[in-house]
Amino acid sequence: MKKPIYQALSQIFAVLFLIVGCGAMFGGNYAHSFVTEQLTQEKITMPEGAAITSLKNPDAQAALQPFAGQPLTTGEQAKAYADNFIWEHMMASANGRTYQELGDDIKKAKADGKSEEEIKKLNDARETSFKGDTLRGILLSAYGWWLVGTIALYAGVAMIVVAVLLALAAATVLRTKRA
């Protein structure tokens, strides 16, 4: 008596998992294509050659090397560019200081009566840091949506596999004999 119920439930859940899995795969593909479309419009080329080797951080060089000279079109490339190229240049131009720290430095310089030239240098470094932070934020958002798309794709595949297994179970193990 319970076997027909389990068979029916397996069939119902197989259909549901198949529908949701296909939807997740569609969403994942959409996220990837949207991010690629948006990044492609920016016409950013990943650094190569001296632009990579001039970075002081060997980890940054290693992270950028696989993408050298390619158009920036994927979330992984966006993350590598933001975290290893823009970040390294920001830190180099601001002597390792962040946007917030530069703001504190400007306040301190004004309070200490530093020259207008010194304050202008700090303001210029802070403006560069602001632009870098903005660019990094945009690229890291693209990476975040790319990652969401990737997770949706994997979840979609997993749900379709579960749907197939449930359908097979309903057709074999849980199959009831017809009278």
pTM assigned to the model: 0.84
Count CA atoms closer than 13 A to 1's CA, side-chain side: 0
Q: Which residues pair with 71 in a beta bridge?
A: 45
Distance CA 119, CA 108 (A): 10
Backbone angles phi, psi at 71, to 5 degrees: -65, 140
In the predicted model, residues of the chain with pLDDT beneath 50 are: none
Backbone angles phi, psi at 45, to 5 degrees: -110, 135
> 3-class SS at 45?
strand
**Burial (CB count <10 Å: 0-12, 13-18, 19+), residue 96:** exposed
Per-residue confidence (pLDDT) for residue 173, from 0 to 100: 82
Per-residue confidence (pLDDT) for residue 4, from 0 to 100: 83
Per-residue confidence (pLDDT) for residue 22, from 0 to 100: 98
Q: How many CB atoms lie within 10 A of CB 175?
A: 12
**Burial (CB count <10 Å: 0-12, 13-18, 19+), residue 169:** middle
Q: What is the pLDDT of residues 127-142, one digit of tens each?
A: 999 999 999 999 999 9
Q: Angle, nearest 10°, between helix axes 116-171 and 99-111?
A: 160
Q: Which residues pair with 45 in a beta bridge?
A: 71
Count CA atoms closer than 13 A to 81's CA, side-chain side: 28
